[in-house]
Amino acid sequence: MFRHTRKLQYNAKPDRPDPLMARRLQEALGGQWGETTGMMSYLSQGWSSTGDEKYKDLLLDTGTEEIGHVEMISTMIGYLLEGAPIHASEAELKNDPSLAAMMSGMDPEHGLVHGMTASLNNPNGAAWNAGYVTSSGNLVADMRFNVVRESEARLQVSRLYYMTKDEGVRDMLKFLLARETQHQLQFMEAQKELEDKYGVIVPGDMGDIEHSQFAHTIMNFSDGEGSREFEGKVAKDGHKFEYQENPEAMGGVPKTKPADPRFKNNQG
Amino acid sequence: MFRHTRKLQYNAKPDRPDPLMARRLQEALGGQWGETTGMMSYLSQGWSSTGDEKYKDLLLDTGTEEIGHVEMISTMIGYLLEGAPIHASEAELKNDPSLAAMMSGMDPEHGLVHGMTASLNNPNGAAWNAGYVTSSGNLVADMRFNVVRESEARLQVSRLYYMTKDEGVRDMLKFLLARETQHQLQFMEAQKELEDKYGVIVPGDMGDIEHSQFAHTIMNFSDGEGSREFEGKVAKDGHKFEYQENPEAMGGVPKTKPADPRFKNNQG
Amino acid sequence: MFRHTRKLQYNAKPDRPDPLMARRLQEALGGQWGETTGMMSYLSQGWSSTGDEKYKDLLLDTGTEEIGHVEMISTMIGYLLEGAPIHASEAELKNDPSLAAMMSGMDPEHGLVHGMTASLNNPNGAAWNAGYVTSSGNLVADMRFNVVRESEARLQVSRLYYMTKDEGVRDMLKFLLARETQHQLQFMEAQKELEDKYGVIVPGDMGDIEHSQFAHTIMNFSDGEGSREFEGKVAKDGHKFEYQENPEAMGGVPKTKPADPRFKNNQG
Amino acid sequence: MFRHTRKLQYNAKPDRPDPLMARRLQEALGGQWGETTGMMSYLSQGWSSTGDEKYKDLLLDTGTEEIGHVEMISTMIGYLLEGAPIHASEAELKNDPSLAAMMSGMDPEHGLVHGMTASLNNPNGAAWNAGYVTSSGNLVADMRFNVVRESEARLQVSRLYYMTKDEGVRDMLKFLLARETQHQLQFMEAQKELEDKYGVIVPGDMGDIEHSQFAHTIMNFSDGEGSREFEGKVAKDGHKFEYQENPEAMGGVPKTKPADPRFKNNQG
Amino acid sequence: MFRHTRKLQYNAKPDRPDPLMARRLQEALGGQWGETTGMMSYLSQGWSSTGDEKYKDLLLDTGTEEIGHVEMISTMIGYLLEGAPIHASEAELKNDPSLAAMMSGMDPEHGLVHGMTASLNNPNGAAWNAGYVTSSGNLVADMRFNVVRESEARLQVSRLYYMTKDEGVRDMLKFLLARETQHQLQFMEAQKELEDKYGVIVPGDMGDIEHSQFAHTIMNFSDGEGSREFEGKVAKDGHKFEYQENPEAMGGVPKTKPADPRFKNNQG
Amino acid sequence: MFRHTRKLQYNAKPDRPDPLMARRLQEALGGQWGETTGMMSYLSQGWSSTGDEKYKDLLLDTGTEEIGHVEMISTMIGYLLEGAPIHASEAELKNDPSLAAMMSGMDPEHGLVHGMTASLNNPNGAAWNAGYVTSSGNLVADMRFNVVRESEARLQVSRLYYMTKDEGVRDMLKFLLARETQHQLQFMEAQKELEDKYGVIVPGDMGDIEHSQFAHTIMNFSDGEGSREFEGKVAKDGHKFEYQENPEAMGGVPKTKPADPRFKNNQG
């Protein structure tokens, strides 16, 4: 069960409105790697966790924090859209190229659909969807996913940082950068502990089943020579990488049978 | 530019048809973490790469291999659907519960839309989409993503393994398990080399910008005590994790202004 | 069965072309609450209706009218795109900020994909989809939905009105505003009649089954005091609202069991 | 900012596992009208609200409660999937039609993708998406939407109730039925207060702009006679409904001009 | 503007209910190539048409007919779902494998979301979306698309025919097969007339611009020999096909420059 | 199995960067009719083909070529984004309308998500999805689809041609125009051969089953007179088209029964 405090976790107030920046920030809200993806992935993983409380609690704490990040970004977008105009005349556009850029570059649905408040879309208006979420039941895999979520998200936040000079926006982004440092590190720590227990290959305990003769071979499918440089290096599981210059097609030419004629497959 | 060999990379022929298994294998073809996601992510990353040929080539080699995996799974699904019926009478269903299970459990679009051949959907019929792909321009982040792709994919392949007793299907899965071991290891190696160069936090060089006082604190947002266990551990960047039992709401209560009345936002 | 008249239900001709307005009007055509959503929701509800002809007929009449509204907006968009340029040189852009705004603010797919005619997308290019449609079999719920469809649509039409000064566009919007007044009112009337018959809570007849001790309590999950203001007010079903300042977590700490080890769920 | 309690808001434990019921409950989690839609709509509306604290707080309290409902249903699905098998032999299927029904009727991604834990999809595996959310800035419209959300959701919960005999599942559903009664009533109350202030037509203040001669006419587009029954009734705004048996096509035959020949529109 | 007749264009009544067939028929309603795709494509093309009334009218007549087909299939699905049960006990499932097949094979959302009426999804529950629609402004291309729409749709209808023995369902399908014959033929005729006018290559008038040395060469990218069989055949534009056994990579190795360092692209 | 050559099939290098053109080219990469659709459709059809090697090989050769086209366009987009700025000040925008147009007209996700490299979206940021792909098992239908794919794609490439003056971009487009001429012609040839064998109506062999009295009638559902012009023309199957001025509604008024009351369908 959850409770809410009206105060934000951290400042989310720009120095001045900027509808173009509002649009860009939608990536952090409704994009593939945005805060909603973090929130729903960590909460889902936490709720599904059946094992060690340490990881379950870490996931739920972080997921709960992310709801507050969604709230902060949503709030920031609202501030950035303050006073945004509903209309500009052709004369106004002609006289003010930066106004023209704003009118044509802002998200048309911010005003039309949301009355100049945040949406749950990315900057191109694509609706956030659960295809961005991962919760597999395997915590090694999922902790790795969480590290990626925080990496891609922090990368985007760093780009957002350079896309504005507004000190208020930057203040919030500096906070998010720090939290995403922490979240990268904590999920790396959990990943490491779980790898120590279950092995570095996900999932563990399949090594005797897999065709292990293909498990340490870099196969070259090109005239590029770059991947040969991995040859002989020691992989994380202690084996050396081999290099196969000309991987053979081992599987034969497939030949499936035609379907029941009532399926009306005409194949020549 | 690409070339094609009619022979498959490895065997992809079941001992006998099984439309339910055909449906499950769609996950490896058109699912969030399936081979199409690997193929399009690695190729996109490789094509976008502007730096070291070693990584560019590794990505393109692996991406090219994955097209062949898409081909193998597509072929396997075709074999598993051989001879699948278009109709069963009520009497037949009553007499044969396993036939009944097959008729109601198989993907109805396999026959209806594809004439008993593979689709590019997951087992629930959701179309593969590019929201599953990642190509960010930052290779540390993307190599981490690639490790996750191979981890989640290998996890699903291991589950598929236990969902069938068919030795032909298992033969192919054992090969895929091995290749996904290799791909996990090679991307881990690349990740490690890139982390050594650019730092473990993605992206590097933002540490002086972020609000670093928040960068190593586990914040507790619950009555769970589990995440406290990380307190004092040494994070991958050498700092120790701190623990904040009661994180403060530092941001004040937000209060945005109403929009232009022509937006017709009535708020009470 | 349907028939078509070449004449439009009402005027749909602007005074002059305006590709930016064409883009905005896509919301009314292919957006979440646009005319296509109305058309497909009312027709689906009407076709599915098994009861009183009065409601079935109202739904089908209104759904049929909406096809004509889709036609009008599609036509208007076509007119607004007349003469839109396929190319502007850098020099032209430099000399004319309003041309620059048009070239960068118009929907790039209007020309590229549709040859300067309407699409079935919203202004951000998201394809209309049936996830916007509601047809539940319960007419009280669906009439309420229909009132919302007309409310959100009329809200957007009113915003479109202020986004243009073109008298031709406004003429059409004034007609749509009026029809959406009528449709709000007629669906409210139907809703009221159905509520009188089946009760104000959807669905009726579950009151003896629900845990009624929780059915009139405003639960406070925050440090906000606003929702307390509903305390003691008389709800539409005649009961008074109670207020619970500190709702208890009644459900215990969940503890699900690990899955079969073959699912490879590693949880610490 | 949010905080989390490990205890659930209410019981969410079935008497025994039932993977088919787990699948059905996904509707309440990841479906168009499920708890996630409630959670994200109310939170978004609350964060965007710029006016009376009473409504803002009500929205945020209810949105916060809904996070806890997502948690409960997620937990319940986890319990219902306990012990679900990864494989059944053909012989087992032949001997046990109810096992066969389970193997073919359960969500194949529950095991394959999520290791027998909940997803964020509906029972057909369609990913939850933000196209289900509404947050328009106009509280009259949005409160109406919220009443619909609670109506459609409660309707689905009532159907879920009759789809199981499990007393544990029913206990949770009885609680949800009651909360959805409360939420319908509270949003109706807010809707009424806002209508009293801003008028029953959304948005208010457009009546002098719309072509009012079309604002109270039921137009008949069919040979059905049902909608005539509304003729003469008094609409919620005090006007009487008129009935037009044969609505005229007032708009003329449209004739748009061909596009620039470089668009290559060949039209005959 | 449109009008509606309560009578259906043709019979749409099964001999007896069959929820599994209801699910399959959703393909014809909400699938990629179903009637909704026909309806929205032909209407969009017709409304966008700026040229010869002959084609515009053909498109609008056929689009209008398709609304009636959507209506027929929607009605048929409603009949097929009549009397479908909301629950079956485990004992009932054990005793009746065909009941078990029905309970697990039917669309769970037919009951749960739609109260046993039609949805606008395909049989796997994927929502119909406008990404299935084509309206390009070029009638040669679009008439070709329309022929495909009718071909794929008739193919699916023929498969549906063999998936049932119900004479009522078959009666409707026989009608649809005939109409789809007509629609294939009429669009072929229009296609042919337009090709005669504008040329067989879409779009016309680009032949002097394209690099024509590559315009009649079958390029072999495989060790398959099959495509060589086209060598020397006369193409529809009168040229002979050439065959290139070993197509050269003419484009050089690409080498793009790194982005601005503020994008944080680390590439090795 | 596939192999890769680092050299591109053809030149893909612009004379100078142009982020707006980069955005437009996304249509050819990730749009409904772009190269990815060609690649995945032809490969899927080829892998699923069970018949004549001639067609199977043609499909796989062309599908393999298309992977190289995806590569070329991806590369071109990378070049066009070279040097694109991450930020422009308001002063810079005011002074340079063409910079303003670029900043607001370019795809915001090119920088933010992809570090100024290509995505797998269309120009409006909609993710490519498998709902664009067709592979039905019936080669007549699918060859027709392939002709459409090449027609719509070539149409878009021709429009792209006129949207730029850059000779490097045009060089690549001229090559694609030529290849799409070839692909139209080769698929037409295959289509013709297959029609000669299986008949012009897809699927063949249903003529005795369909209600043939409706198979050659143009039905007029409007007051338009245009479609009458097809009357008496000889259809491709040798029959003459008839014209029905006033098609009758033959199907009666539908009347489905209410569902089980536990579905809570209230219908008046």
pLDDT digits (tens, 9 = 90+) for F228-246: 999 999 999 999 999 999 9
How large is the average pLDDT for residues D194-212?
97
Q: A147 and A54 share a domain?
A: yes
Which of B8, B93, B94, B112 to mutate to test binding with chain E, by most E CBs within 10 Å of its CB? B112
Q: What span, in angstroms and rounded, lies between the C-alpha atoms of F203 and E157?
A: 10
Q: If DSSP codes are grouped into helix, strand and coil, which group holds residue A168?
A: helix
Kindly state whether residue D13 falls inside one of the protein's structural domains.
no
Contact E114 C48 (CB under 8 A): yes
Distances (CA, A) of B52 to B49, B198, B200, B201, D122: 8, 14, 19, 20, 44
For tokens 């490790």, name the residue. Answer: B147
In the predicted structure, residue E90 carries a pLDDT above the cut 90 = no
Q: Which H or E element spans position F110?
A: helix F108-112
Q: What is the dihedral of CA B258, B260, B264, B266, to 10 degrees?
A: 20
Q: Closest Cα partner for C181 from B265, D246, D214?
A: D214
pTM of the model: 0.98
Binning pLDDT at 50, 70 and 90, where does residue F113 land? very high
Which of A128, A173, A256, A266 to mutate to test binding with chain F, by most F CBs within 10 Å of its CB? A266
Q: Mean pLDDT for chain A?
A: 97
Q: What is the pLDDT of residues F178-194, one digit of tens each?
A: 999 999 999 999 999 99
Q: If DSSP codes are grouped into helix, strand and coil, which group holds residue B219?
A: strand
Nearest-neighbour CA in chain E from D16: distance (Å): 13
Q: E162 and E49 share a domain?
A: yes
Pairing of strands A2-4, F242-244: unpaired
In the predicted structure, residue E97 carries a pLDDT above the cut 90 = no
CA F83, F85, F90: angle at the middle one, nearest 5? 150
Q: Which pLDDT does position B90 carry in this prediction?
A: 87
Say how many C-beta atoms besides its own lie within 10 A of residue B83's C-beta.
Answer: 12
Q: If DSSP codes are grouped into helix, strand and coil, which group holds residue A204?
A: coil
Q: Mean pLDDT for chain B?
A: 97
Q: E44 and E114 share a domain?
A: yes
Q: If DSSP codes are grouped into helix, strand and coil, which group holds residue D222?
A: strand
- Please report residues of E whose CB lies closer than 8 A to that of A264: 155, 158-159
**CATH at E60:** 1.20.1260.10
3-state helix, strand, coil in chain A (%, to 5): 55, 5, 40
Is the complex ipTM higher than 0.95?
yes
Q: Which pLDDT does position F268 carry in this prediction?
A: 84
Helices (H), D119-250: 139-162, 167-198
Q: What is the pLDDT of residues A233-253, one digit of tens each?
A: 999 999 999 999 999 999 999
Q: Which pLDDT does position B237 carry in this prediction?
A: 97
**CATH at A229:** 3.30.1530.10
How large is the average pLDDT for residues B99-128?
97
Contact E101 B104 (CB under 8 A): yes
Beta strands in chain E (DSSP E): 2-4, 217-219, 242-244
Find out whether E27 is annotated in a ligand binding site.
no
Q: What span, in angstroms and rounded, lies between the C-alpha atoms of F171 and F157?
A: 12
How much is the CA Rg of chain D, to the nearest whole Å?
Answer: 25
Kindly state whether residue C12 falls inside one of the protein's structural domains.
no
**Cβ contacts of E208 within 8 Å, gap of 6 or more:** none
DSSP C239: P
Q: F233 and F188 share a domain?
A: no
Distances (CA, A) of F217 to B179, D238, E7, F236, F246: 58, 51, 20, 14, 11
**Catalytic annotation, pick one of E4, E27, E35, E92:** E35
- Among E6, E136, E138, select the one facing D223 at the smallest CB separation: E6
In angstroms, how far is the first alpha carbon of chain E from the final one?
Answer: 62
Domain boundary among the residues B164, B198, B232 is at B198
In the predicted structure, residue F129 carries a pLDDT above the cut 90 = yes
Q: Which pLDDT does position A90 carry in this prediction?
A: 86
Q: What span, in angstroms and rounded, lies between the C-alpha atoms of E72 and E82?
A: 16
Contact B112 E32 (CB under 8 A): no
Q: B156 and B235 share a domain?
A: no
How large is the average pLDDT for residues D238-267?
96
Query: Residue E110 catalytic?
Result: no
Kindly state whether residue B14 falls inside one of the protein's structural domains.
no
Kindly state whether residue A207 falls inside one of the protein's structural domains.
no
- Please report residues of B whose CB lies closer than 8 A to that of A266: none
Q: What span, in angstroms and rounded, lies between the C-alpha atoms of B102 and E105?
A: 9
Kindly state whether residue F207 falls inside one of the protein's structural domains.
no
Binning pLDDT at 50, 70 and 90, where does residue B98 land? confident
Q: D140 and D221 share a domain?
A: no
Q: Answer for the pair E78, E183: CB distance below 8 angstroms, yes or no.
A: no
Q: C240 and C191 share a domain?
A: no
Pairing of strands A242-244, D242-244: unpaired
How large is the average pLDDT for residues A106-112?
98
Q: Which H or E element spans position F218?
A: strand F217-219
Q: Which pLDDT does position A51 carry in this prediction?
A: 86
How large is the average pLDDT for residues A56-72?
98
> Which segments of A are annotated as binding site?
35, 57, 61, 66, 69, 150, 183, 220, 222, 224
In the predicted structure, residue D135 carries a pLDDT above the cut 90 = yes
Binning pLDDT at 50, 70 and 90, where does residue B51 land? confident
Distances (CA, A) of C33 to A44, A128, D145, E248: 30, 18, 11, 52
Q: Closest Cα partner for C93 from F165, A106, F88, F96?
A: F96
Q: Closest Cα partner for E135 from C63, C2, C74, F29?
A: C74
Question: What would the two tokens of residue E14 be?
Answer: 């099964």
Query: Among A260-264, C88-92, D62-66, whose mean pLDDT is lowest?
Result: C88-92
Q: What span, in angstroms and rounded, lies between the C-alpha atoms of F79 and F117?
A: 8
How far is it between the farthest Cα atoms of chain C? Answer: 74
- Please report residues of C whose CB lies closer than 8 A to that of D264: 115
**Catalytic annotation, pick one of F66, F110, F195, F216:** F66
Kindly state whether residue D264 falls inside one of the protein's structural domains.
no
**Catalytic annotation, pick one of E69, E71, E114, E248:** E69
In the predicted structure, residue C222 carries a pLDDT above the cut 90 = yes
Q: Which pLDDT does position E226 carry in this prediction?
A: 96
Question: How many folded domains does chain B comprise?
Answer: 2
Q: Mean pLDDT for chain F?
A: 97
DSSP A227: G
**Phi, psi of C104, deg, nearest 5:** -90, -15
DSSP B165: -
DSSP-assigned beta bridge partners for residue A219: A244
How large is the average pLDDT for residues F125-131?
98
Q: B100 and B217 share a domain?
A: no
Distances (CA, A) of A158 to A33, A163, A175: 13, 9, 11
Q: E105 and E238 share a domain?
A: no
Q: Which pLDDT does position B56 carry in this prediction?
A: 97
Q: Mean pLDDT for chain E?
A: 97
Q: What span, in angstroms and rounded, lies between the C-alpha atoms of C53 and C55?
A: 6
Q: Answer for the pair B97, E97: CB distance below 8 angstroms, yes or no.
A: yes
Question: What would the two tokens of residue D84 be?
Answer: 């679900």
**Cβ contacts of C211 within 8 Å, gap of 6 or more:** D174, D175, D177, D178
Binning pLDDT at 50, 70 and 90, where does residue F73 land? very high
Beta strands in A36-143 (DSSP E): none
Question: What would the two tokens of residue B175 be?
Answer: 């090969």
Q: A223 and A179 share a domain?
A: no
Pairing of strands F217-219, B2-4: unpaired
Query: Residue B150 catalytic?
Result: yes
Kindly state whether residue A252 falls inside one of the protein's structural domains.
no
Q: What span, in angstroms and rounded, lies between the C-alpha atoms of B103 and B93?
A: 9
Kindly state whether residue B35 falls inside one of the protein's structural domains.
yes
Q: Answer for the pair F120, F29: CB distance below 8 angstroms, yes or no.
A: yes
Q: B64 and B167 share a domain?
A: yes
Q: Which H or E element spans position A218?
A: strand A217-219
Q: F92 and F217 share a domain?
A: no
DSSP-assigned beta bridge partners for residue A3: D3
How large is the average pLDDT for residues F96-120?
95
Domain boundary among the residues E138, E167, E198 is at E198
Q: Which residues of E178-212 are buried (b: 16+ CB within 10 A; e: fewer)?
A: bbbbbbbbbbbbbbebbbeebbbbbbbebeeebbe
- Please report residues of F whose CB lies closer than 8 A to that of A24: 108, 112
Q: Closest Cα partner for C259 from D116, B154, D106, D110?
A: D116
Q: What span, in angstroms and rounded, lies between the C-alpha atoms of A179 and A187?
A: 12
Question: What would the two tokens of residue A215 be?
Answer: 């498990």
Q: Which pLDDT does position D123 carry in this prediction?
A: 98
How large is the average pLDDT for residues E133-162?
98
**Cβ contacts of E81 within 8 Å, gap of 6 or more:** E17, E19, E22, E110, E116, E117, E118, F259
**Cβ contacts of B181 within 8 Å, gap of 6 or more:** A201, A207, A210, A212, A215, A216, A237, B154
Task: List the domain range (segments joined by +) for residue B54.
Answer: 19-198
In the predicted structure, residue D98 carries a pLDDT above the cut 90 = no
For tokens 């070049």, name the residue. Answer: F79
Distance of CA A206 to the CA centre of its chain: 29
**Phi, psi of C242, deg, nearest 5:** -95, 165
How large is the average pLDDT for residues E37-43?
98
